Structure 1
């Protein structure tokens, strides 16, 4: 069996072409060095060096083996370096889940920062709604999610990474589009509203319900995605509520209006003026070095 000590011994002799200098370089005496070369030649089944009292030269087999020896040692060195970087969280793979709207607000800056600070970390992206992200983390398919609360705190750790306002989305031809004040819950009385699915889009459904708690709108549709709601507004099928970051979608035919939360039910909102939260979530009992490093970068991007 070939050992790394044998390969390193051979490389030293091949480069020095002198057993005495090679032994000195390896900080050993000549007899054990000669034995390492002999064992290596027996393991390979070929003579690698021709030596006598005056000189040492490489055989044809020795020249061929020297190229492979360099590759072996480089591979071992790079493997060790990779292991150290993985152990420090500077290399590896992170599987990151995100929602469509979270991609607007933070995904771009986060990926640019990760490329700059952790270039050897491969980020594998997976677009999923919050429930699917939670399931993915539980099954070990995802490492980190960018998702909406609430979460099972017995299963997941979480950190708020973004708070933003909830806004009204109205057709550009609607009378509210030119209204010179924020919209109140009472303004939605009798208006057609595009709502969100209570299971598949539970978070935005509850935000809408809380804001319109004291109004009586007509819920025309219930959709799963913010973009779908905005497209229906553009088609003049009703009004909708959406996070402020959705303005970046640049849907034609809609106008975003600020909301006046007085009169809505804001008791459950940590910040009534910015009730829309985005969290980083990860498994409570699993946090590899690379996951911890990526979470640190997320925190830096938010700050």
Structure 2
């Protein structure tokens, strides 16, 4: 093991090429400096300096050590600041999962602004459904995740921040008779083949969709299940049925698909940010999302005033 002090002493001698000047630079006397360099040579079992009465020169081994010693000393000097930054959540790694629907909504600008304000935080992103995210949070494989769920259906064991409330809208084949209207009546589509995600992916939202059918006095005719919302919309474009999707998915344009609001009483979808532990970097990200939500509310309020 080589300590930093003899490396610092060696670097001073290597840069000054004079033991006396190096000793004055280090605020020490020359004899212990000479002894320290000799001890370093013995520890490394190489000659670092060629000494004569008139000059000091670096050997090839000394030149190689000088490069690495400077690097190590720079890193050692930077270490306290790096540790303080990590403790404050200004650096480190954030493993973040998300459902696809929020990627068509506010997530991209949130990530962009977070990276701008926290350039030393490494973002590792993973698209995953709620069931996968909950398992990953329990296993410690992710730090936080955006999940899609029905109202009041967040696991009580996790910390949560609600970030989005939106209605479910109906994705219809463009040629469907009900598609001529901007809003369709539930009765017009209740008997259509339904494309939906498996219940295990998002149980509360699956149950909310089925509850809407039961409230209308009918049972859904499930034609096909698919995990990803993008896949479900693609199946709609193939004419295989209709699908309930979060309103943010209307940003996903597929040929042959139109999105329509349903009246009355369309189910609501909530998106929440979930996390298990308040690590510094997670705290930073949650605070950033909260700030973005405040800005959005303020902007919406200003727009409302301006439209009056």
Verify same fold: TM over 0.5.
Answer: yes
Please list, as runs of the form range in 1=range in 2, the aligned pairs for 1:108-127 lying within 5 A after superposition.
Answer: 108-127=108-127
Q: After the TM superposition, which parts of structure 1 deviate over 6 Å for at least 4 consecutive aligned residues? A: none
TM-superposed CA distance for 1:66, in Å, is 2.1
Please list, as runs of the form range in 1=range in 2, the aligned pairs for 1:1-303 lying within 5 A after superposition.
Answer: 1-51=1-51, 55-77=55-77, 81-149=81-149, 150-154=153-157, 156-179=158-181, 182-188=183-189, 190-217=191-218, 219-221=220-222, 223-225=225-227, 226-262=229-265, 275-283=268-276, 286-302=277-293, 303=295
TM-superposed CA distance for 1:160, in Å, is 0.9
TM-score by length of 1: 0.81
Match of 2:301 in 1: none
TM-superposed CA distance for 1:253, in Å, is 1.4
Alignment RMSD: 2.9
TM-superposed CA distance for 1:3, in Å, is 1.8
Aligned length: 289
Change (3 A) 1:209 1:39: same
Q: Equivalents in 2 of 1:223, 1:77: separation in Å? A: 57
Q: Which runs of 5+ in 2 are unaligned?
A: 296-308
Change (3 A) 1:31 1:169: same
Give the SS at the match of 1:105. Answer: coil
TM-superposed CA distance for 1:130, in Å, is 0.3
Contact 1:98–1:128 at 8 Å: present in 2 too?
yes
Q: Equivalents in 2 of 1:128, 1:64: separation in Å? A: 48
The one-character-per-residue Cα deviations of 1:32-89 (angstroms, maximum 9, x if unpaired) are 3233223222222344335566544434543343233223323434555544433332
Contact 2:131–2:200 at 8 Å: present in 1 too?
no
TM-score by length of 2: 0.80
TM-superposed CA distance for 1:19, in Å, is 3.0
TM-superposed CA distance for 1:29, in Å, is 3.4
Q: Which runs of 5+ in 1 are unaligned?
A: 267-274
Contact 2:96–2:145 at 8 Å: present in 1 too?
yes
Contact 1:94–1:291 at 8 Å: present in 2 too?
yes
Change (3 A) 1:30 1:245: same
